[in-house]
């Protein structure tokens, strides 16, 4: 059981029920989620002491977010309380050729307006084994970008391994702004997670694989990963590869490179997809667990991560409510879906 | 069928189902509502051409608000489209001694940031019979306050009767700020709706009735109404009186004064209350219809208004989905609740 | 365990959920019900062999009605299958001063167009102890009126006690039409159930109690019952008395007269009412059981019936899903509502 | 923005939730729909002034239908109010090899019994750009057939383009009856929509493609379309082609012929199907928009129509709640279903 | 219409809604089911007098089970009432590579503690045409095993054909225990249903086909069936063959051998699966009907059974709510899923 | 913030939705609850470190119970994991004169079969301020009774204040058995909570107040409390007094005696009751907080406790999801139920 710290935003997610469109819905399902919160829940499910750090209002919507995390065993003691609002995102789940749709309403959230005084990062990082953040956190606001840097510095002071999921979000910042913030933060990062598109937009790398069209060329990634690793002195670079046949049907695999070996995971055919939101986060959560559990076997770590995230696509909500045993069972090859009695 | 214009904000209302508390809820019921939108729906239900003026984003949550209004026959042609967000309020419905709870998340809504260019008030007011607004609208933002003034001016230019529900909201502004904005706007108002607390906080009147304790002294209101009428040159002053026995059980009546006669309505005993949000707005809607329909009989107009708003307490959602016939039936004395086959 | 036959229509009931109004509802709750079907379910719950006779289409909506009856133990072997449609009624449940609302859509139902060949009433009545019908059945159509007469004749041929709940429905026929059909049928009736309004409209009696205003004067009923009994040679006349304080709050008691004793039951204060539809039918069901169980004690029979029907008001749906023991417990005086563990 | 008139019936649709069978369902989802109403909603979504003409009762079920149309922006000012009932259809949604099931209960609806006095077709058609009806409308009743003719005549008098979706329904009439009514109406039709089965049953054409078995032979259609066009002097003939692999999985494309070019659209593979009811109507709605928008490019018009109707299969309810932009995006080739943030 | 008796347990099934995981669910769907109860419902749907024999508590949860059976026409007159609890199983429905999960909580149920005095098997079997049980019944408890033997003996005394679905459940007993109980019971069995895994675990047969890996080799089954038939003197041996591509996608066919002919059914591709619980039971129910209806044509009987059970996979709940006509339609080759209007 | 330990069972509660009866329900709402778990949640809501000690299976139903506790901030680190089942209770919520109904299915739960090795009570009690248990815990099983004694002994060794809610449950044991177990345990108890009926059944006291009939005579309680206090050397005796007007309407107050002063709280009129299960537990939770917060003012402590438990009756579920501020607000006299904005 490792101590794993994540830092970012948790939002109120309001989704139209079933495959209903937003304008048809008389109620919205309520869950909470956000990149780093989702990673924390994954890690808690695998048995770790997962510490999620953020800021949330004292009112009941803020409390609802805290409760959602506590329910799944996440350590919430370092969540600062205050501010006015919980960021919101609306989700409409697509089907077949109709894509899912996300509307963000997150400006002015408590974490976007948090101050350094809200967090004692040295206390938080003390004794931690891992610190994870994503490119969404510094994109939220300049204040959040500064907090991300402070968290990274504290992590390094305390000898904590740092991972970052690049995760470029065009609604939050431009590529120029992203690069100006993200590049300096790369010095703290040991494990970088991101596909070639994120690498280009956040770090200035040019993609060579044709991803837009859904084709995935693993060999192209070897060059990208090698380049990224050298440029930023990462220990490990990893990425998922999604083939989007439709909103209901995806192919899913992942790649990893540690400077020695370039490893490509098995591919999962996911059909039907129940909820693909949080798929990338569940990969990060699985990878952290995998690399902590099999430090000498990045292939095994990656297979855990990709199985975890394939499984996530079958589970409603942002959180990957799957146990270590369930992920291992799937990674071990049991994908027949036979009833477990 | 009169043309009745209202101007203000319509919000997304997210309420926990049944009597569940916020932190227990796995889904939120979705309706849309807001003071002036609620008045518009009431007027549309009574057969008028009710024009609701506001600004809403182009995305689906904004569209949902437009659709909610169209569904009940409100004219939405003058709703400007643009801006980032729809204001939100969360509602938890209480029971017995547990009060209902409202959490507002409305900062930065499209209407709060709307500009004069978004509205051509002279076109809007042309041919209108009535213009209604509440003290919430100018409280939203300085921009909205300016727009309220522009709307009032256009109404007066076009010979439109103007009503205002004072409706002081302490979460939106202080009494000092309210008075600085509201007092100058009173010159445009013909019909003022508000209890003594609103009058004090928005207009600087001192209450003489003991309302905090739930006791209502009609005679005290005569003096207040008389004073208000003289000070601001209103034609008519009216107010509801709520006795709060519990969150489930209220007494409800209303008062009106036109400078000649002070009239006190019959009193309704409402138990159980299904949804009291929008109760005041349904009174305004009923009063507008009443005064337009019975210009010579303010007592009859008031009885329509108070019956309409009593009925609203039995209907879920902000909108008063009741027909003119249903209100007349209740105002006429049929409160036995016998099944209508 | 007696064999109790009832004959009439069972309809698909579509009700808006909770206290929502029709035009707000995104789904309708589905149950099945109808006067004589409701009586049959009551009798089955008390342990009798309750035979419901009607006609229903072969399609799944017709099958749904059969299944609803079978589920609660009603004998459905004499339900003819055929015809085009199941009659429908829409129900909106009121609250406080807002009345519940019923919209009927029952024209052309299978039972309204049934023929004598659909039923072998002598086989049906053979060995039966009781036959019950209501004034709704002959009002459905001329064909149904004829079938009612055939059923009554067969009952008499087979020595079966006959009860009739007068139940005038102005949407189905005029008072003149009702009297022309109902009066000749009274010769078959042993037990007549109906208030003074039904007696006037169906049989030509003038009411003397002031019921419109919700006041109930038991002494006035003594004269009415006596007159009815003599005019039509009934053995027993009984009626419920409802005081409608509001849609949520009613007083409820009943009266009976057997030519010897005039008995007035205890009064129940029902608040809140969960579902008052079927309240009268549950009284008929309870009275049949009561008179069969306590032939020498009409007071005890009536107390069972009125307790049964008071309990019905707390149960969703048309059917009175209450056991004999539950009714006896309430009739015995235990109305405290303490949790039964 | 064109003025597009449609004329027909809108029904109350009651569907069992999810994949539940009718007899398992404790509630029915409530939406409203009907061929021409569905076309009107499509057109309103694309920004047109869509006028739906019909007759509906004044009660709340009738009002619910009006509200459903208004909610999505349809112009309801020419809907006559009166009559007794709203036609109903029950829908059970299938899955895999289990087909969906529809039970109609529409006899005696308000529109089936409407009279010429209910509609002033010259006023309705004045300034209109398009008039659409389907073979269902004249099949409802002889009165409705007469009204269809009157509407067509008024359309022609006012220079309006007329389209007809043949849509043979064997539950409503025989092929002989259909031909006697439909053939004379074809003189008013400019754009005829229908597959070879409809053409045979409504107009007396013999099919040459083997559609029963799910095989589609585009070349066979060329001959049929050519023949139909010549026989009835249509300007354009179009049809969809559905391959039914299962209730959950269909192939979908369309064909069009304007006397010059025979165009076959791209084919969509729809899996899973969320709701295929209204698929044909959404094609008609898309085709009307397409032909109005690209009068010189029937291929582009058809691709819009087939993309629109493919998308409809992923949306619950009869109405195609999709925007012009969404349809254009899919027609433009973006079918990957990637999340839109 | 045959009289078909089944004996076993009916449980309360609590399933998480949709694809939610257990720990995410705020409510559980309630149905009732169990191997032999499911067979009884199938037989009742096909028009037979299906008698389900078991023991259930007198409380409302027990009554709920009785009502569920009555609703679908099962004869419940021989269900003994008493004991403390209804066995429960919790079901989580999987998707794609995530398997469904079952948690049993059935110890101490009324039927597990039933006594011979609870059942008069000679009365029950009198006039019966068929008696069916599964390997689950004797596995419940030693008392239930004894009752199974008594039922078989009575069946044989009354000349009733006996079928047994071997259905080994490792949560209930070991293979050793199973063999000690099941082997002596085989003397009463005419029709044995079971795959090679059940045959090995219950009866000591070694499998030769490679089923674990999802490959099905019909020829291998011929040898197994021949061996089983000879060893235990069965008249007929049959089994289903499931290919598990995923929790959502299965292949499904069946095999039968009567000593003369070895027949392999057509194969169904089921995608998506709605509910696969009860799939085997629906096969048994279909086979019983098939063998009774086509005693001379085991192939036709098997095709009915396999079509019935394929259809079951598309229906929510344990029970196969499909009519004889629907099964025959599918067995006859109509699997296109076209809407039935 | 005190450390408060409670020990007992947490069950899966399955309740029919709304006011539906068990046999009408197609789903059951899922919450978890149990006397001491409910107390722990109350204490956690008031800001304490509430440690709930029990045993739960490792499967997902057991995990669901753990998650429910974590969600509301209860410390679950000392919950032993193992055993087969989670105890279940079914709840049907009554209305008006229909009582709520509870069916227990709790035999053989993990905590009933727990062993001393499962708990290290000295570690658990170390540093604790309070230990609470109820008479339900030792009634579960002889093993649980022994564990209760061990917990009490450890509490005393560690100087922890002990409270006990007598809570006699006739379904779990007889009065004789209860007295044989409970009397020896009273030596560890400082604060005894129980009405005169519990005192008689658990401890052998004779009641003098007439509680059956719903009348409450505070003076009678003074004698009972005085006697109990002397006989068992309690420091404090307290009890609630419930007047059951109906299942929907109760009066509620409480009494306390510390040897010096006998204090009677204000009385709350609760109407409508939303969920009265857990009402007594919320009183215990409130009393623990009150006595810890106002050690010198038992009256203030009691007013907190009775306000807390009155509030509980308005909240769905076993847990009292109310904050300290909300309880203080009500105890302070604000029961008007006015909307809190």
pLDDT at C214: 45
pLDDT at E30: 98
Residues C191-212, mean pLDDT to the nearest whole number: 81
Give yes or no for residue D209 having a pLDDT over 60. no
Decide if D44 contacts D74 (C-beta within 8 A). Answer: yes
Q: Within an 8 Å CB–CB cutoff, is residue F63 touching chain E?
A: yes
Give yes or no for residue B8 having a pLDDT over 70. yes
Give yes or no for residue C215 having a pLDDT over 70. no
Both tokens of residue C33?
A: 């019900």
Q: How far is A138 from chain D, CA to nearest CA, in Å?
A: 18
- Select from C23, C99, C247 the Cβ nearest to the Cβ of B321: C23
Q: How confident is the model at residue A214 (pLDDT cuts 50, 70, 90)?
A: very low
pLDDT at A208: 53
Residues C146-172, mean pLDDT to the nearest whole number: 98
How far from chain centre, in Å, is Cα B49?
17
Partners for C (CB, 8 Å, 3+ pairs)? B, D, E, F
- Select from E314, E321, E341 the Cβ nearest to the Cβ of D96: E314
pLDDT at A217: 66
Q: Hey, are the CB atoms on B73 and D70 less than 8 Å from each other?
A: yes
Both tokens of residue B336?
A: 């036995």
Q: Within an 8 Å CB–CB cutoff, is residue D174 touching chain E?
A: no
For chain B, what's the residue count?
A: 341
Give yes or no for residue F213 having a pLDDT over 80. no
Q: How confident is the model at residue B240 (pLDDT cuts 50, 70, 90)?
A: very high
pLDDT at D208: 52
How far from chain centre, in Å, is Cα B106?
18
Q: Within an 8 Å CB–CB cutoff, is residue D210 touching chain E?
A: no
Q: How confident is the model at residue A196 (pLDDT cuts 50, 70, 90)?
A: confident
Q: How far is C75 from chain F, CA to nearest CA, in Å?
A: 18
Chain C residues near residue D63 by CB distance under 8 angstroms: 22-23
Mean of all residue pLDDT scores within chain B: 95
pLDDT at B213: 47
Q: What are phi and psi of C285, to 5 degrees?
A: -60, -45
pLDDT tens digits, E277-306: 999 999 999 999 999 999 999 999 999 999
Q: Hey, are the CB atoms on C340 and F169 less than 8 Å from each other?
A: no
What dihedral do alpha carbons F294, F298, F300, F306 form, nearest 10°? 120
pLDDT tens digits, B304-316: 999 999 999 999 9
Percent of chain C with pLDDT strictly greater than 70: 97
Q: Hey, are the CB atoms on C339 and F21 less than 8 Å from each other?
A: no
Q: Within an 8 Å CB–CB cutoff, is residue B73 touching chain D?
A: yes
Give yes or no for residue E191 having a pLDDT over 80. yes
Q: How confident is the model at residue F220 (pLDDT cuts 50, 70, 90)?
A: confident
d(CA D46, CA A191): 48
Give yes or no for residue F214 having a pLDDT over 50. no
Q: How confident is the model at residue B217 (pLDDT cuts 50, 70, 90)?
A: low
Q: Hey, are the CB atoms on F27 and E22 less than 8 Å from each other?
A: no
Q: Which of residues 121-160 of D touch E (CB under 8 A)?
A: none
Q: How confident is the model at residue C218 (pLDDT cuts 50, 70, 90)?
A: confident
Decide if D128 contacts D158 (C-beta within 8 A). Answer: yes
DSSP reduced 3-state for B90: strand
pLDDT tens digits, D24-63: 999 999 999 999 999 999 999 999 999 999 999 999 999 9
Q: Within an 8 Å CB–CB cutoff, is residue A100 touching chain B?
A: no
Q: Within an 8 Å CB–CB cutoff, is residue A208 touching chain D?
A: no
pLDDT tens digits, C2-46: 999 999 999 999 999 999 999 999 999 999 999 999 999 999 999
Regarding predicted confidence, which is higher, E219 or E113? E113
Burial class (CB in 10 A: 0-12, 13-18, 19+), F88: buried
Q: Hey, are the CB atoms on F70 and A71 less than 8 Å from each other?
A: yes
Mean of all residue pLDDT scores within chain D: 95
Q: Within an 8 Å CB–CB cutoff, is residue C60 touching chain D?
A: yes
> Which pTM does this prediction carry?
0.97
Residues E309-318, mean pLDDT to the nearest whole number: 98
Q: Hey, are the CB atoms on D26 and C25 less than 8 Å from each other?
A: no
d(CA A182, CA A189): 11
- DSSP one-letter string for F220-280: HHHHHHHHHHHHHT-SEEEEEEEEEEETTEEEEEEEEE-SS-EEE---EEE-S-S--TTHH
Among C67, C68, C326, most E C-beta atoms within 10 A, so best to mutate, is: C67
pLDDT at B212: 47
Among E49, E68, E73, most C C-beta atoms within 10 A, so best to mutate, is: E73
Q: Within an 8 Å CB–CB cutoff, is residue D69 touching chain C?
A: no
Q: How confident is the model at residue D23 (pLDDT cuts 50, 70, 90)?
A: very high
In 3D, which of E146, E180, E177, E151 has the Cα closest to residue E164?
E151
CB–CB contacts below 8 A, C to F? 80
Among F25, F95, F212, most C C-beta atoms within 10 A, so best to mutate, is: F95
Beta strands in chain F (DSSP E): 3-7, 11-15, 27-33, 49-53, 55-56, 80-81, 88-92, 101-105, 130-134, 161-165, 191-193, 236-246, 249-257, 262-264, 268-270
pLDDT tens digits, B134-164: 999 999 999 999 999 999 999 999 999 999 9
Both tokens of residue B153?
A: 């001016």
Q: How confident is the model at residue E212 (pLDDT cuts 50, 70, 90)?
A: very low
Chain B residues near residue C25 by CB distance under 8 angstroms: none
pLDDT at B206: 77
Q: What are the distances in angstroms from CA D266 to CA C171, D259, D337?
A: 56, 20, 17
Q: Within an 8 Å CB–CB cutoff, is residue C276 touching chain B?
A: yes
Residues A275-291, mean pLDDT to the nearest whole number: 98
Residues D167-182, mean pLDDT to the nearest whole number: 97
Mean of all residue pLDDT scores within chain C: 95
Chain C residues near residue B268 by CB distance under 8 angstroms: 97
Residues F16-26, mean pLDDT to the nearest whole number: 97
Regarding predicted confidence, which is higher, F197 or F138? F138
Chain F residues near residue C322 by CB distance under 8 angstroms: 98
Among B274, B337, B340, most C C-beta atoms within 10 A, so best to mutate, is: B337
Q: What domains does chain D contain, in order, with CATH numbers?
A: 3-332 (3.40.1190.20)
Q: Within an 8 Å CB–CB cutoff, is residue F101 touching chain C?
A: yes
Q: Hey, are the CB atoms on C339 and F248 less than 8 Å from each other?
A: no
pLDDT at A273: 98
Decide if C193 contacts C222 (C-beta within 8 A). Answer: no
Give the residue from chain D lying closest to C25, CA to CA.
D30
- Calculate ∠ Cα A141-A142-A146, nearest 5°: 120
pLDDT at C212: 47
Residues F308-316, mean pLDDT to the nearest whole number: 98
Chain E residues near residue A310 by CB distance under 8 angstroms: 97
Q: Hey, are the CB atoms on E71 and C71 less than 8 Å from each other?
A: yes
pLDDT tens digits, B249-301: 999 999 999 999 999 999 999 999 999 999 999 999 999 999 999 999 999 99
Give yes or no for residue D325 having a pLDDT over 60. yes
Q: Within an 8 Å CB–CB cutoff, is residue A231 touching chain E?
A: no
For chain F, what's the residue count?
A: 341
pLDDT at D207: 56
Give yes or no for residue D211 having a pLDDT over 90. no
Q: How far is D309 from chain C, CA to nearest CA, in Å?
A: 24
pLDDT at F105: 98
């Amino acid at each position: 059981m490792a101590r794993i710290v994540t830092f970012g935003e948790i939002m109120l997610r309001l989704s139209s029920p079933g495959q209903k469109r937003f304008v048809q819905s008389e109620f919205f399902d309520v869950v909470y989620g956000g990149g780093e919160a989702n990673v924390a829940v994954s890690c808690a499910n695998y048995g770790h002491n997962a510490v999620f750090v953020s800021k949330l209002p004292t009112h009941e919507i803020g409390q609802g977010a805290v409760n959602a995390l506590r329910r799944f065993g996440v350590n919430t003691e370092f969540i600062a309380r205050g501010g006015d609002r919980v960021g919101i995102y609306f989700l409409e789940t697509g089907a077949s050729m109709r894509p899912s749709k996300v509307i963000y309403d997150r400006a002015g959230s408590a974490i976007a307006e948090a101050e350094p005084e809200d967090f004692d990062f040295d206390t938080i990082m003390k004794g931690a084994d891992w610190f994870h953040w994503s490119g969404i956190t510094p994109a939220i606001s300049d204040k959040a970008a500064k907090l991300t840097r402070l968290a990274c510095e504290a992590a390094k002071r305390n000898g904590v391994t740092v991972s970052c999921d690049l995760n470029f979000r065009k609604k939050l910042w431009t590529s120029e702004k992203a690069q100006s913030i993200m590049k300096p933060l790369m010095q703290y990062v040991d494990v970088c997670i991101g596909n070639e598109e994120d690498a280009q937009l956040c770090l200035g790398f040019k993609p060579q694989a044709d991803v837009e069209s859904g084709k995935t060329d693993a060999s192209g990634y070897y060059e990208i990963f090698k380049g990224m690793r050298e440029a930023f002195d990462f220990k490990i670079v990893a990425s998922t590869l999604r083939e989007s046949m439709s909103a209901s049907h995806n192919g899913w695999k992942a790649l990893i490179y540690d400077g020695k070996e370039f490893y490509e995971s098995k591919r999962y055919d996911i059909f039907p997809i129940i909820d693909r939101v949080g798929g990338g986060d569940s990969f990060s959560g699985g990878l952290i667990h995998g690399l902590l559990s099999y430090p000498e076997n990045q292939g095994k770590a990656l297979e855990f991560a990709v199985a975890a995230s394939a499984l996530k696509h079958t589970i409603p909500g942002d959180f990957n409510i799957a146990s270590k045993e369930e992920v291992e069972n799937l990674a071990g090859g049991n994908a027949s879906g036979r009833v477990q009695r």
